Amino acid sequence: MRIGFLGAGNLARAMVQSLLKEGDQTPSDLRCLSGSGATAQRLSDDLGIALAESRQDLFEQSDIIVLAFKPQHLETISEEDSKLASGKLIISVLAGRTLNSLSDHFPSARNIARVMPNTPAKIGKGVSAFCYAENPSEEDKASVESLLESFGYAYQVDEPQMHIATALSGCGPALFFRFIDVLANAAAEKGIPKDLALEVAIKTGLGSLELMRQSNQDPQTLIDEVVSPNGVTHALLESLKNSDWHYGLENGITDAVNRSIELAGER
């Protein structure tokens, strides 16, 4: 599977690193091109993948093209590029760019996959939601899934659900980072050194989520295991119950879904 990356920034780098580590690809299967050329040169130098000389070179030498530039760079796709992409599989990670808008730019691609990854992809623990323009062939389905699974977990959804996935897994890391930050700051204010508070909060988060994953128990059962009547956790949860944090979270998800719809020009 020869893959060409149009855009060679943070996300392309994470994908290339994972493909070389986890996938069947060797550096000679991968090729990249960027805007100024600087990031593509760095990616090629660092990871040994080929540096494309031009878009023509990139498209002609690749069976799958990953669009990994910024969403606004989609407008730089020319008619010539569209022709070169004829019969290719296009994989787009561009936030907010719908399958319709991608199909307008690549009308003769053999299929288009729209993907919403998240930043833990950088360490091979990403969560990606994805959808297709057309029913994929078995071969394309396997290619897309193996590419996405090389840097984490991948879930196929219907395109309208991409907005919800964006709010949940796309924005999710920021939510967890904020949560840990608030927790560590609160503990630090009570007298634990900040770096220790942060480390304890992170490890508590990792252990708790891993327990949740491995035990397959629902959140309330796991909470019940921690709480004893009138105990310490009870005091904490009662205090939270009396605050409006869960409304804030619910509203936040609603606002994120709405913003995603707005950015996609669907409202």
Ligand X SMILES: NC(=O)c1ccc[n+]([C@@H]2O[C@H](COP(=O)([O-])OP(=O)(O)OC[C@H]3O[C@@H](n4cnc5c(N)ncnc54)[C@H](OP(=O)(O)O)[C@@H]3O)[C@@H](O)[C@H]2O)c1
- Residue at 108: amino acid letter: S
CB of 193 to ligand X, least distance (A): 31
User: Whose CB is nearest to ligand X?
Assistant: 9
Neighbours of 222 (CB within 10 A): 13
Q: Count CA atoms within 13 Å of residue 128 on its CB side.
A: 30
Output 173 or 183, the one with its CB closest to ligand X: 173
Residues interacting with ligand X, by CB under 6 A? 6-12, 34-40, 68-71, 73, 76, 93-95, 116-119, 170
Q: How far is the CB of 191 from ligand X (least distance, A)?
A: 36
Q: Which is nearest to 154 in space by CA: 115, 123, 119, 120?
A: 115
Between CA 66 and CA 32 the distance in angstroms is 9
Smallest distance, Å, CB 30 to ligand X? 14
Nearer to ligand X, 25 or 118 (CB): 118
Task: For the CB of residue 173, give the shortest distance to ligand X in the complex, in Å.
Answer: 8
Nearest to 115 by CA among 75, 58, 65, 73: 65
Q: Which residues pair with 6 in a beta bridge?
A: 33, 67
Nearer to ligand X, 6 or 264 (CB): 6
Whether residue 122 contacts residue 98, with contact meaning beta carbons closer than 8 Å, is answered with no
Give Cα separations from 20 to 25, 142, 214 (angstroms): 6, 17, 28
Q: How far is the CB of 130 from ligand X (least distance, A)?
A: 12
Nearer to ligand X among residue 35 and residue 252 (C-beta): 35
Closer Cβ to ligand X, 38 or 232, answer by number: 38
- On the 0-12 / 13-18 / 19+ scale of CB atoms within 10 A, 30 is buried
CB of 43 to ligand X, least distance (A): 8
- Shortest separation between residue 205's beta carbon and ligand X, angstroms: 20
Whichever of 23 and 117 has its CB closer to ligand X, that residue is 117
30-33 sheet: strands from edge to edge: 50-51, 30-33, 3-6, 64-67, 89-92, 111-116, 126-132, 152-156
Could you give the CA distance from residue 208 to residue 192 in angstroms, rounded to a whole number?
21
Q: Which is nearer to ligand X, 42 or 212 (CB)?
A: 42
